[in-house]
A = this chain, B = another copy of it.
Amino acid sequence: MLPFNSLVSSSQLTPEIIVELFRATDEMAAIISKAGTHKLLDDKIVALLFFEPSSRTMLSFQTAAQRLKAGTVFAQSSSSTSFEKGESIEDLIRIVAGYADIIVMRHSQPGSAAIAAEVSEVPFINAGDGGNEHPTQSIIDSYTIFREKGRLSNLNIVFGFDSLQSRSIHSLSRLLAQYPDNRFVFTGPEKLLPDQNLLNELTAAGVRCEVQSEVDYRDNYDVIYVNRLQEERFDDVKLFEENRRKYRITKKDVEGSDAILLDPLPRIDEIAVEVDALPNAVYFEQASYGVPVRMALLASLLGKI
Residues of A at the B interface (CB closer than 8 Å) are 35-37, 42-45, 47, 50, 53-56, 58-60, 62-63, 66-67, 69, 71-77, 79-87, 90-92, 94-96, 98-101, 228, 265-268, 273, 284-285, 287-288, 290-291
**Could you list 12 further interchain pairs (A-B, Cβ under 8 angstroms) beyond the known A36-B101, A53-B79?**
A36-B44, A37-B71, A53-B80, A54-B82, A55-B95, A77-B79, A82-B266, A91-B265, A91-B267, A98-B287, A98-B288, A99-B291
* Copies of chain A in the complex: 3
Nearest B residue to A84 via CB reads B53
- Asked if residues B71 and A67 are in contact (CB atoms below 8 Å), the reply is yes
Name 19 interchain pairs, CB-CB below 8 A, sorted by A: A45-B66, A50-B80, A53-B81, A53-B84, A54-B80, A56-B82, A59-B75, A63-B99, A63-B100, A66-B71, A66-B72, A82-B266, A85-B266, A85-B268, A86-B266, A86-B268, A95-B265, A98-B288, A98-B291
Instruction: Report chain B residues within 8 Å CB of A60.
Output: 99
Nearest B residue to A291 via CB reads B99
Taken together as a complex, chains A and B put the C-alpha atoms of A92 and B42 apart, in Å, by 29
- Asked if residues A59 and B47 are in contact (CB atoms below 8 Å), the reply is yes
Return A167 CB to nearest CB of chain B, in Å: 15
Q: Known interface pairs A71-B67, A74-B62, A98-B285. Does A35 touch B45 (Cβ–Cβ under 8 Å)?
A: no
- Asked if residues B63 and A82 are in contact (CB atoms below 8 Å), the reply is no
Instruction: Report chain B residues within 8 Å CB of A84.
Output: 53
Of B69, B228, B287, the residue contacting A95 (CB under 8 A) is: B287
Return A267 CB to nearest CB of chain B, in Å: 6
Taken together as a complex, chains A and B put the C-alpha atoms of A84 and B230 apart, in Å, by 12
Nearest B residue to A75 via CB reads B55
Nearest B residue to A284 via CB reads B94
Return A116 CB to nearest CB of chain B, in Å: 14
Nearest B residue to A83 via CB reads B55
Of B54, B79, B82, the residue contacting A81 (CB under 8 A) is: B54
Instruction: Report chain B residues within 8 Å CB of A36.
Output: 43-45, 101
Nearest B residue to A65 via CB reads B71
Return A47 CB to nearest CB of chain B, in Å: 7
Taken together as a complex, chains A and B put the C-alpha atoms of A37 and B68 apart, in Å, by 14
Instruction: Report chain B residues within 8 Å CB of A35.
Output: 43
Interchain residue pairs A-B with the least CB separation, the first 7? A66-B71, A98-B288, A36-B43, A87-B266, A62-B73, A55-B81, A63-B99
